[in-house]
Amino acid sequence: MAHATPKLNDAKHTTGQEAKKTLIFHSLAKTFYPTAKTFNQASIPVKGRVVDELGKPIPGATILVKGTSNAAAADANGNYTLDVPDGASTLVVSSIGFTPQEVAISSRTTIDITLKTDVKSLNEVVVVGYGTQRRAEVTSAVSTVKAEDFNQGGTRNALDLIQGKVAGLSVTRTQGNNPNSSPAIQLRGIVSVNGSLAPLIVIDGIPGGNLDLLQQDDIESFDVLKDGSAAAIYGTRGNAGVILITTKKGKAGPARFDYSTYVQHEAVAKRPRFLNAEEWRAYSADPNNPKASQMRDLGASTDFYNLLINKDNLSQYHNLAMSGGSNTGSYRASMYYNDADPIAIQNWRKQYGGRLSLNQRGFNDMLSAQINLATNFNQANLLGGRGGDFRAVSSPNNESSDFENALGRNPTQPVFNPDGTYYEEGSTTNPIGRLNQEKNRRDQNTTSADVRFTLEPIEGLRATAFGALIRDAQNDNEYRQAGSRFSQIGTLNGTPVKGTAYARKRNYLENNYTFESTLEYNRTIHEDHTLRALGGYSYQYRVFEEFSGSNSGFLNDVFQENNLGAGNFLQLGKSSLGSNKEDNRLIAFFGRVNYSYKDKYIAQFILRHEGSSRFGANHKYGDFPAASIGWTISKENFMSGLTVINDLKLRAGYGITGNQGIPNYQSVVRLGTGNQYLNDDGIWRQTYGPNNNPNPDLRWERKKEFNVGVDFALFNSRLTGTVDVYRRRTSDLLGNFNTQLPPFVQSSLYTNVGVIDNNGVELTLSGTVLKKKNFSWGMDFTGSTQSNKLVSFSDDVFRVTFLTFGDIGGFGALGPSIRTIEGGPLGSFYGKRFAGFTPEGRWLFNKANGEAVTADKIVPNDDYAYIGNGIPKYYMSWNNRFQYKNLDLTLFFRGKFKYDILNLQQVFFGNKVYLPNNVLKDAITRNNQINDALQFSDYYLEPGGFVKLDNVTLGYNFKFKTPLVRNLRLYLTGRNLLTFTKYRGVDPEVDDTGLAPGIDGRGFYPRTRSFTAGLNIGF
């Protein structure tokens, strides 16, 4: 971006940030002050100290002789020495986070300077689509989280760093710290039924960036575009919001080395309370036990759950970064190793890789180039820690959860038979045997490369060309030994394996290509009017292909999965072979215009015209406009007397975004294979036919969103905050609807019908509670509320009475637990209303007229009712930062409130009918009176609200006088330490995203507390 000659006494034109590096201030001064003079006459030394309002030193503060290139930087104690030429009259003093100040020299040789804290919300740089803005210029709902505000300790995914940090953004780890799982993310509620629900991830300008390429020490900031007026610049992928991630880059200055490391141990926070062997034996002898005759004492006392726990787990992480540069170029290179050793056995992930960033300026400072390269190699053990239902293994795709299987086993079962083989019973699988006799590994390499050229031929005009490639390659290897339980009871394509082992290989390759170019023009007119216009073109192509094959009938385990042809199921025609290839394209033209008058009246206009190959011939392209305005009220003359208000800005924005997150080729006829037939000539021939109905009118879902917000800073900027109120409507929902045969060739059509409404309020506060010379206490708070409603899912042609989600599954076939009707809220539980028990222990439920009857007299639908909702109504986080001299302490609390949880563990394992499988202790205590079949009702809905002490970090920053060590920090972090809740299950933080929220399944992957010891050191 070209700059006019700045005014040093005007905060919005400060060059303090550009001059912060001590070794390059001469060249920077010449760059940004081309009219500066070089004095050759005699000079006098001036010294002093730069401090803040509390008298604390400001290391690195820049002291510049106005009108010259003479400058100095304050040392660690704030002291400086500077040669001042005769005739010079003014010093300009600046530092990041402080308001620049001009100080008269007046023949003094000692000058101490006190800088005032700047209003951070006004001057921080915010990343928006295809560019940056100062916070003072932002008119949309955009939240920024910098590296210093990230969640501390070890993380499994980059988004863990901002969990609870952004109002309206839900980040939930549905499988705890399983390193091979990803968090569920959702911004401002549910925006689709069948389309994408997650925000678009953009990493260093690459739409659809891969989170595997990010390590926590390589990330500079997250910027979240929350409303439609901000996200419209990304068109068809902006419905669920946009998360922009910026990685760290090299900076001008001497070479720097930064090393970060930690070790982390996890412990089970809470385990389900099942009967142990002694309790099992005691209850089997209870004369009132209706299942006593079926409960066999097998002589052992086994805690299968405990055997699945990796008690000696210890994860480690190492990241070494090197950076530096000059005023014409900079670099940053990092390399890392991350060994995630979690709580479950056979469930690890090891990854290593690196990231390289190069920046170079030349061609008389008019041309700049930036190259980024990142790669991640990871090896994952996918065998342990998997989720699923408690059911027998009968095929490769019908697999149970190990922890659920372990807890449901008779605790008197031994692990081994007397002959050393694994003890097996019925149609279940010994989980310890499975983990020792099977293999499921993935080798994966993800690489990203991008290059950006920027040309500034004249002041204010900038042209860029950007190209990027992301390549993701996966190689899966699976093997089940001939002696495994699967080989005994499993099948492949309907044929029993019968002890001949099972092998499978899968290869997957995906390439994402991006090319974007922009032209931007900036102009300041009469110093008060700022105009900025941006136009651009975007092209993105994604193609992936996969191949898989599986076989059985191996004579031994020698080859394992490395020779699929050795299995005789291939000759029998019973092996499996499959491949697939798909692609899609996006092409867009976009523009944005920004106008500002004295940072007082601000406006932004966006239009994106985008086409997608996923949609019908009649609707390939769509338009996505947006407009937003801002009024900085605090700059008005009538506000000058209100010293308590430092900043007050009112914002309003409206934008339209789209959703193209659906499967490929839904608008065209897709041919599929049918049966093979033997022809008269003796040759078998394959048949083909249409798999779907074409729809040339298929188009994207469209969300219209209106947002009003207020930004403020009060009490000398000790309290800053933001309030946003939004209302959004998503129309043209995509879904499958029943069709008539004929004229259609298939029974369903993928088309656009339906409307969803969301609205909510978000609050963000940040303040300094106490600030003394050696002690400070800072506080951050985020809170939000939301509601989601399905307005309609029918039109004149297609009608749907209701939608169902959250199928309970398993033994009992209890059906879906969530039903949504037109005009009703999303996420509502629908079922029977509990009314008590008969003296014999049979269920009683209320009919529609209120009469209490047994389950067999309840008429589905007629007597069912809406009994709860799984979407939290309120979200909250509260962060406290304490600092005493070099010691700091962080206490971070998170909470969700006003929602219900369906406790499926209680539904199944809390009922004695599940015996002789093991049951929860509640089955013979709290639920002891139940002597009836499994039922789903509001009896199993529990309040899910909670508050967690989610992060406690204690750190110490060492200060060194030697210039060799810039910083050294040691810290200890505890995660998920305390949970305050009425919920009786393992953890109240269940998945609250999507259309089946609030269901605590039966997978039981352990929720853990983690304890981390870490070190950060810079040279």
> Do residues 89 and 120 lie in contact, with contact meaning Cβ atoms separated by under 8 Å?
no
Radius of gyration for the alpha carbons in the chain, expressed in angstroms and rounded:
32
Give the angle 434-440-441 at the CA atoms, nearest 5°.
Answer: 145
Identify any residues that bridge with 724 across adjacent strands, giving them in sequence order: 709, 762
Q: What is the pLDDT of residues 709-743, one digit of tens each?
A: 999 999 888 899 999 999 999 999 998 888 888 88
Q: Please give the pLDDT value at position 97.
A: 62
> Do residues 539 and 587 lie in contact, with contact meaning Cβ atoms separated by under 8 Å?
yes
> Do residues 957 and 157 lie in contact, with contact meaning Cβ atoms separated by under 8 Å?
no
Q: What is the pLDDT of residues 445-483, one digit of tens each?
A: 999 999 999 999 998 899 999 999 999 999 999 999 999
Q: Please give the pLDDT value at position 598.
A: 87
State which of 51-55, 837-841, 1004-1008 shows the largest mean pLDDT.
837-841
Tally Cβ neighbours within 10 Å of residue 74.
24
> Do residues 748 and 739 lie in contact, with contact meaning Cβ atoms separated by under 8 Å?
yes
Q: What is the amino acid identity at position 408?
A: G
Q: Please give the pLDDT value at position 12.
A: 34
- Mean pLDDT over residues 1003-1013, rounded? 91
Q: What is the pLDDT of residues 675-710, one digit of tens each?
A: 788 788 888 788 888 888 999 999 999 999 999 999
Identify any residues that bridge with 752 across adjacent strands, giving them in sequence order: 734
Q: What is the pLDDT of residues 891-933, one digit of tens each?
A: 999 999 999 999 999 999 999 999 999 999 999 999 999 999 9
Identify any residues that bridge with 541 across adjacent strands, giving them in sequence order: 513, 585
Q: Which one-letter DSSP state was computed for residue 405?
A: H
* 17 pLDDT more than 80: no
pLDDT band at 641 (very low <50, low <70, confident <90, very high): confident
Give the closest residue to 923 by CA, choosing from 84, 290, 73: 290
Q: What is the pLDDT of residues 655-669, one digit of tens each?
A: 999 999 999 999 998
Report how far Cα 188 is from the mean position of its chain's Cα atoms. 14
How many whole angstroms separate alpha carbon 292 and alpha carbon 271? 26
> Do residues 351 and 443 lie in contact, with contact meaning Cβ atoms separated by under 8 Å?
no
Give the closest residue to 875 by CA, choosing from 709, 990, 761: 761
Q: Which two tokens stand for residue 969?
A: 């920090």
How many whole angstroms separate alpha carbon 378 and alpha carbon 351? 4
How many whole angstroms separate alpha carbon 3 and alpha carbon 8? 13
Q: What is the pLDDT of residues 234-293, one digit of tens each?
A: 999 999 999 999 999 998 888 999 999 999 999 999 999 999 999 999 999 999 898 999
Q: End-to-end CA distance of the chain: give it in Å, rounded.
A: 32
Give the closest residue to 151 by CA, choosing from 993, 884, 971: 971
Q: Cis omega (within 30 of 0) on the bond before 496?
A: no
> Do residues 968 and 957 lie in contact, with contact meaning Cβ atoms separated by under 8 Å?
yes
pLDDT above 90 coverage of the chain, percent: 70
* 139 pLDDT more than 90: yes
Q: Please give the pLDDT value at position 122.
A: 56
* 23 pLDDT more than 80: no
Q: Please give the pLDDT value at position 679.
A: 84
Tally Cβ neighbours within 10 Å of residue 747.
12
